[in-house]
Structure 1
C-alpha cells in the first residue's frame, strides 16, 4: 500500500491541473505531508490544448488560441520529532497562455493577433501536528507572486509589475494506516494582489486582483489487497477572480468568471509487484452554461488519466498521461462559439526518500 500511495499523490500533479476552473495550474495538495521520513520530489508537466472557436455561424475560425505550456513543482518534507512534520512546496498556482493566431484584417477572427500571459510562483511552508488518535492538524503560509501582460487586436495593451503577497492554509486530517485510509480537508485563503499597471505603454494605474480562496478534500482507502481507491473534491471561489485595469475601455472586466467551480477526481491504484504499480483516474468539472471571456473560452471538462510508478530502493518515478475533453463555451463581446476542444497532458514526478 505504501507504493500505491505515491501513485495517488503523483498522478494528477504529474499531468498538471490543466483546465481545472479559471486559470488554475496547481491543485494545492498537501499529500506530501504524509510521506514517510525525509522526502524530496520534483515534478514536470506539459499540456497541449487545442481550443478554437468560430463566429458568423461557423464562417470564420479563430484557430487554436491556447498554446502548449510547461509546469513544474518542487517539494520537500521532513519530520520534526515524532509528532510534527514540515513540508515546503514551490509551484505555479495560476497561469494563462493565450495567443489567437494570425493578424486582424478583413475576414479574420475578431481577436486575431490578441495575446495574454499570466505568470505566478508560490512558496508554501506547512506544518502538521499528529495526535495519538490518528487525527492531525495542518497549518501554513503561502508567499505568492503574480504578473500579467495583455495585447489585444483592438489596440489595447496592459502589463503589470510583479506583486507578492502572503496567504495562509489550515486543515485537518484522519488516517487509518492498516487499510491505507486517509482523509484530509484543507482551506486555502484568498490572496489579494495590488498590481501596478501600465496601459497603452504610457498610462500608469493600480488595481486589485484576488487569487481566490479554495477548499480541498483529498481521500484514499484500501478496497482490496494491493488496490486503493482515491480521489479529491476541490471548490474554488472563481467568481471573486477579476482582472479589471482602470483604463480598460469596455464596460465589462478584462477577465472574470460568473460562477465558482467544483472539480472532482476519482481513481483506482493497483500494485502489480514490488517494483511496479499503476493507476487510472477520472476527472470532472461541471459546465455552468454561462457566457465566458474571450481570454478563457472554456466551460468545465471531463478527463481520463493513466499513470505508472517504478520503485527502486528509495527512488520512485511516476509517469502519467491525461486526456481532457474541454467543455463548450460561448464568449462575450464577439459571441464566439467554442466547441469540440480537447487537450493532452503528460508528466513525470521523481521522489526520493532519505
Structure 2
C-alpha cells in the first residue's frame, strides 16, 4: 500500500506539470487541483506556482517579412487547494486562474497591430477593412484579460473488495477582468482619410463573478495505484463586462481639443465565454516503484468567435470600437508520462504531450504544440512533499489571412515555450 501511495504522488506531479502546456489550447491556464481529493490523509493542503514564457512572434505582416519582436508575455499561474476527508468522503476548496491572455504589440511597426475601422460596432471583416467609408481607425497596441476561480468540489466513495468507486461534484465562481490599449486616428469626414486627431485609448472592464459546476467519477484499485477518472467543467458566460477608460489626445488640428487633453469614456466588452471541457485521466503501476499515466482533454473553444471592445462618451461625441476575430475550433490535449520512485523520499517523472491548435486562419497564435515535461518530488518528512518541474514546448508555424476572417495577413514561425513549476504539499 505504501508503494502504491508513492506512485500516486508521482502521478499528481506529472499532471501538475503537463497542465502548464495547456496554454496552446486557447486561453487555458490553470485547472482546479481536485486531484488533492485522492491524496491520503485527513487534511491536505497544496500551493503551487507555474511560470510560463511563450516566445511567439510574427514572421510577416501583410506580406512584409521581418524580425518582429515577441508579442506574447510571460506569466505565472497560481493554484491553491485544501482538502478534508477520509476514504469515504472528502471535500476540497480550490483557487486558480483558469483563463487569461496578454499580448504587447508595441514592438511592431508603428507600435501596434495593423489598422482596422473603428467607427463601427460590426463583427464583419468586410466592414472592419472598408477604409473607404471610415471616419476613424484604430490599431491595437496591448490587451490582456484574466479570470479568477474559487471552487468547492466533493468526493463520495464506495469500496467493494479491492476497488473504490467515487462520484465527484462541486461548484465554482469565476470573474473576468479586461485591459486594453489602442492607438486611434480620427478623420475629417467619413471616407476622407485626412487625420485631424490622433489618440491613445486605455480601457479597463470587469465582469462579476458567475457560477459554474463540475461533475465527474473515478474508479481505483489502490493496491496497484490504478485510477481512472473523468471530470466535466461547465461553461461560464460573462455578459456584463463593463468599466471605464480614457482617450488621451496625442496630436490635434482641432483648436478646442489640444494635445494632452484627457477625455473619460465608458468601456464595454462583448460576451466572453469560458468554455466547457471534459478531461479523462488514467494511471496504473507497472512494476515496483514505476507508474504510467496519461490524460486527454476536450475543450469547447469553438464558442470563441469574435470579441469587440467599445468605448463611448455621448457628451464628447465619442463612439468607437476595436474587434478581435478568432473563429477557433475545439481543442484537444493529450499527455502520457512515466514516473519512478527511487527512494521513499525521492521520485521523478517524465512526460510528453500534444495539443492540437485551435487557430483556423483568423488568428494564428495558438497552433499545434508539442511538449516535454519533467519533475522531481522530494519528501523530507512524511507530511511534506516538495515538487519542482519544467516544461519545454515546440509551437508549429501558422498563418492568418483576411480571406479566412482576419483583418490583416500574418504568419508566425516555429516558436518555443518554456516553463517552471514549484509546489508544496502538507498533510495531516
1:215 deviates by 0.3
The aligned residue for residue 192 of structure 1 is 237
The aligned residue for residue 51 of structure 1 is 56
Task: Give ranges in structure 2 of 5+ residues lacking alignment.
Answer: 116-138, 185-199, 247-264, 312-319, 401-405
Question: What TM-score comes out, normalization by structure 1 length?
Answer: 0.90
The aligned residue for residue 25 of structure 1 is 29
The aligned residue for residue 341 of structure 2 is 271
Residue 308 (structure 1) aligned with residue 376 (structure 2): yes
User: Conserved in 2, the CA contact under 8 Å of 1:163 and 1:194?
Assistant: no
1:158 deviates by 4.3
Superposed counterparts of 1:1-354, under 5 Å: 1-14=4-17, 16-37=20-41, 38-53=43-58, 54-55=60-61, 57=63, 59-79=65-85, 82-102=87-107, 104-105=109-110, 110=114, 114-133=141-160, 134-153=164-183, 158-198=203-243, 201=246, 202-205=265-268, 207-242=270-305, 244-245=307-308, 247=310, 253-287=323-357, 290-293=360-363, 297-313=365-381, 314-331=383-400, 332-354=406-428
Q: Distance in 2 between matches of 1:72 and 1:17?
A: 15
CA deviation map 1:158-217 (0-9, x unaligned): 431242101001101100111100011111110111233357742454632211110010
User: Conserved in 2, the CA contact under 8 Å of 1:62 and 1:101?
Assistant: no
Q: Distance in 2 between matches of 1:316 and 1:198?
A: 43
Instruction: Tell me the secondary structure at the aligned position of residue 159 of structure 2.
Output: coil
1:97 deviates by 1.4
1:4 deviates by 2.7
Q: Distance in 2 between matches of 1:256 and 1:56?
A: 18
User: Conserved in 2, the CA contact under 8 Å of 1:158 and 1:197?
Assistant: no
Question: What TM-score comes out, normalization by structure 2 length?
Answer: 0.75
Q: Residues 328, 56 of structure 1: CA spacing in aligned structure 2 closer, same or farther, 3 A cutoff?
A: same
Task: Give ranges in structure 1 of 5+ residues lacking alignment.
Answer: none
Q: Distance in 2 between matches of 1:257 and 1:9?
A: 34
User: Conserved in 2, the CA contact under 8 Å of 1:102 and 1:113?
Assistant: no
Q: Distance in 2 between matches of 1:176 and 1:264?
A: 23
The count of residues paired between Structure 1 and Structure 2 equals: 349
CA deviation map 1:309-351 (0-9, x unaligned): 0012211111001001113222322211011111100010111
1:136 deviates by 0.7
Instruction: Tell me the secondary structure at the aligned position of residue 11 of structure 1.
Output: helix
